[in-house]
DNA sequence: GTTTATTGAGTCATTGCGACTCAATATTAA
DNA sequence: TTAATATTGAGTCGCAATGACTCAATAAAC
């Protein structure tokens, strides 16, 4: 249904279906194994990785297009999803142009012409719960999670796009209850702390972190426990949705 | 030179010169008479006001296009200029479509068809020194400053664009040395305080404000004076460019 | 009982902030 | 010369938040 993009009809007549010269890329962050991850897509035309993305259908709102693509690649509907930047450098397809002209190129001519034109990319940042995601895998496409530290060289200017997204994330962390979109319904505070540490890029003190995060009043303590490890199980927490959405609207009171 | 937009050639063949379906609008803030102002443009086709804007030439970087437009409308070259959002709602031209069909409409058919298609607007926020600006006025266009409190109803979704820009500005005020782009080379601290008060939307205490703003170390005290008023003249300040650009890069140390 | 990591409950010094006060200073107008 | 006016410098006071710590109780597995 969403795969007009991969039909011959679209390839021969793209401007009939989507807004010309505009593309969307989603930077989708998840969290697992105490590490922040980003979802990447293997290209169909070479052994390279790229950001999930697509185009804006004529009848789509911009955010709807971003949601549609998120749904396509992760199966998820409603998450934190936010525009964070535009990327339209004249030479942003230079690397790809060279690749397409080389003998590594495995795609077809129609894609070639379409993808190498100049696009203005709208960057959308998504925070999703890792375990809820079923990364898309079909005949031509394959999604996988990558640790932030081991993102490979990507197509176009996608490395820049990810870096910009992380900067934005680091920044928003200070006034929005960001971490929670990345975690499952219930989680130990340590996981949340790890997210903050990863995005901030430094260690935090447990006591101080807990004191602060609990002071926002958007967390609820649960009485469940982990099991399996040779130690006392950590308490689980979930967030109070009412307080949480209020904080999303009005910030965490930093100002 | 920059007025391809107003030639017959452009009107009949726009896609030859600019990226299709993409437009730019600049929200240009200035400061004078202790009030924050925004630069608006009178439309050629009706008695309405609109944001200065234009399109991206095929060979333009996005930021170059925004700079070119800023230069066109203000005469200024280098200022604080930053992307802050995209606006591409499907129905964002609805109001204009109605206007064009009404008997108030004074433009021509070619413009009609071109402007009413669906654009994705890239919003750029500019902070400029009021007194350095020579608002563009020619046969068809007329720029004027408006107080933030008395912005009229604008074309398209431009009121929304301005509101979003102010939100962004209010937000950035907390970590970037914003005010200085709005002030002349030398200024009294009270002017800076007024800017903060306007954007924050509340009164600030002089002593506390001065204490904080001076603590950033980006201001230099000058020994000049005002004259004319029946009171002690305020000291003038200017900003230390080195410290200032450093703060623009790394924030004001809030985080 | 030993080992392990979580947890609760602190301390302590420092910093920043908002709300305030008070007197000295410079300038013009009466 | 004096009065009126607004700026300036130099504070105080209490409160809240922060970062860097410590210490002992607790739960679970082996």
pLDDT at A255: 33
DSSP secondary structure of chain A: --GGGGSHHHHH-GGGTEEEEEEEEEEEEEEETTEEEEEEEE-SSSS-EE--EEEEETT--HHHHHHHHHHHHH---S-EEEEEEEE--TTTTHHHHHHHHSTT--S-HHHHHHHTS--EEEEEEEE--GGG----B-SS-EEEEEEGGG---BSTTHHHHHHHHHHHHHHHTTTS-GGGGGS-SSEEHHHHHHHHHHHHTS---HHHHHHHHHHTS-EEEEEEE--SSSSPPPEEEEE-HHHHHHHHHH-SS--
* pLDDT for A139 beyond 90: no
A122 with B118: Cβ contact below 8 A = no
Q: How far does the CA of residue A59 sit from the closest CA of chain B (Å)?
A: 7
Residue A254 pLDDT grade (very low, low, confident, very high; cuts 50, 70, 90): very low
State phi, psi for A5 to the nearest 5 degrees: -50, -30
What's the pLDDT band for A18 if we cut at 50, 70, 90?
very high
- Rounded mean pLDDT, A72-77: 92
Asked if B118 is an interface residue toward chain A (Cβ–Cβ < 8 A), one would say yes
Among A42-46, A127-131, B129-133, B159-163, the range scoring the smallest mean pLDDT is: A42-46
Q: Examine the pLDDT at A228 and tell me if it is beyond 80.
A: no
Residue A185 φ then ψ, to 5°: -50, -45
Under-50 pLDDT residues of chain B: 1, 254-255
pLDDT category at A127 given cuts 50, 70, 90 is: very high
Tell me which nucleotides of strand D come within 7 A of a protein CB.
Answer: 4-12, 17-22, 26-30
Is the CB atom of residue A227 positioned under 7 angstroms from any atom of strand C? no
A232 touches strand C (CB under 7 A): yes
B202 touches strand C (CB under 7 A): no
Residues of A in contact with B89 (CB under 8 A): 61-62
Q: Straight-line distance from CA A207 to C1' C12, in Å?
A: 15
**Closest-CA distance of chain B to residue A153, Å:** 23
pLDDT of A76 > 70? The answer is yes
Do B88 and A58 make contact, defined as CB atoms within 8 angstroms?
no
């Amino acid at each position: 249904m969403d795969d007009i993009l991969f039909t011959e009809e679209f390839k021969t007549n793209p401007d009939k279906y989507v807004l010309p010269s505009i593309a969307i890329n989603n930077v989708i962050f998840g969290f697992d194994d105490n590490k922040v991850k980003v979802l990447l897509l293997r290209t169909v035309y070479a052994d390279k990785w790229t950001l999930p993305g697509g185009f804006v259908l004529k009848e789509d709102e911009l955010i709807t297009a971003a949601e549609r693509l998120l749904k396509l690649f992760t199966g998820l509907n409603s998450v934190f999803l936010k525009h964070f930047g535009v990327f339209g450098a004249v030479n942003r397809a230079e690397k790809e142009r060279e690749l397409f002209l080389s003998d590594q190129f495995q795609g077809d001519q129609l894609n070639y012409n379409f993808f190498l034109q100049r696009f203005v990319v709208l960057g959308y940042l998504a925070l999703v719960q890792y375990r809820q995601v079923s990364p898309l895998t079909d005949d031509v496409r394959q999604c996988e999670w990558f640790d932030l530290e081991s993102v490979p060289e990507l197509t176009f200017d996608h490395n820049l796009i990810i870096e910009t997204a992380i900067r934005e994330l680091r920044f928003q962390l200070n006034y929005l209850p960001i971490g929670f979109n990345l975690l499952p319904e219930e989680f130990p505070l340590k996981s949340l702390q790890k997210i903050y540490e990863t995005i901030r890029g430094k260690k935090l003190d447990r006591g101080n972190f807990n004191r602060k995060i609990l002071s926002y009043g958007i967390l609820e303590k649960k009485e469940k426990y982990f099991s399996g490890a040779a130690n006392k199980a950590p308490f689980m927490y979930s967030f109070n949705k009412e307080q949480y959405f209020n904080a999303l609207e009005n910030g965490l009171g930093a100002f």
